[in-house]
Structure 1
């Protein structure tokens, strides 16, 4: 790919916006509209964790239980890197059950599938608290 159309960027932003709704509501069908079947979710907080595959990402979301953070995705920048990989960088806010907030960045690699744009890899990097 050499260029992203306005429609591509709009569709990618829609995919990324859907993440918070699907993940926080444990909507497994919705997660299938966000992540590729072989998608990877890498969490860098603490010791870190890598979750591989759509099914495992869904199980991870469900396993967080009702006290899981409530995510907000903000300020997304979509771009094509020098190697032709479609990437996005977004800020996130996560509201914790006690009302405190932590935030960070999502670094995404995306690809177009037969069903639309999907995240192939997401790296979540916290900022505060560290």
Structure 2
């Protein structure tokens, strides 16, 4: 794929926006509207964590309730890389239960499915507080 249509970009933006609503509210039945069935989330904050597959992503979302972060996704740049892979880089802000804020980047690989655009891989890279070794 060399270029994305406006319809593609709109669909991808919708998927990226839906993440915070579905994940933060642990609406597990709707996670398939955001992620592919075999999606992977890689968290690079602290010791890190890899979550594989929609059932595990649902368990992860539920494990954060009721005191999980409140995510805001913004400034998404959507593009096709040199190998034809559809990617998005988004900034996020996460308000933690104590009122402190954590932020970083989501580095996503997206896949067009019959139901629409879905996240196949999400790598969450923290910015502040700065994780050791991430930007050095």
- Same-fold status (TM-score > 0.5): yes
- The corresponding residue for 1:25 is 25
Q: Secondary structure at the match of 1:32?
A: helix
> How far is the alpha carbon of 1:29 from its aligned partner?
2.2
- For this pair of structures, how many residues does the alignment match? 130
RMSD value, Cα? 0.6
Q: Distance in 2 between matches of 1:93 and 1:50?
A: 20
Q: Distance in 1 between matches of 2:124 and 2:4?
A: 24
Q: Secondary structure at the match of 2:74?
A: strand
Cα deviations across residues 78-110 of structure 1 (Å, max 9, x unaligned)?
Answer: 000000000000000000011110100000000
Q: How does 1:81-120 map to 2 (within 5 A)?
A: 81-120=81-120
Q: Distance in 2 between matches of 1:110 and 1:29?
A: 20
Cα deviations across residues 19-61 of structure 1 (Å, max 9, x unaligned)?
Answer: 0000000011221100000000000011100000011001001
Q: Distance in 1 between matches of 2:52 and 2:125?
A: 17
Q: Distance in 2 between matches of 1:29 and 1:91?
A: 26
- List gaps (5 residues or longer) in structure 2: 131-136
TM-score (norm 2): 0.94
TM-score (norm 1): 0.98
Q: Secondary structure at the match of 2:33?
A: coil
2:14 is the counterpart of 1:14: yes
Q: Secondary structure at the match of 2:65?
A: coil
Q: Distance in 2 between matches of 1:2 and 1:80?
A: 6
Q: Runs of 4+ in structure 1 displaced over 4 angstroms?
A: none
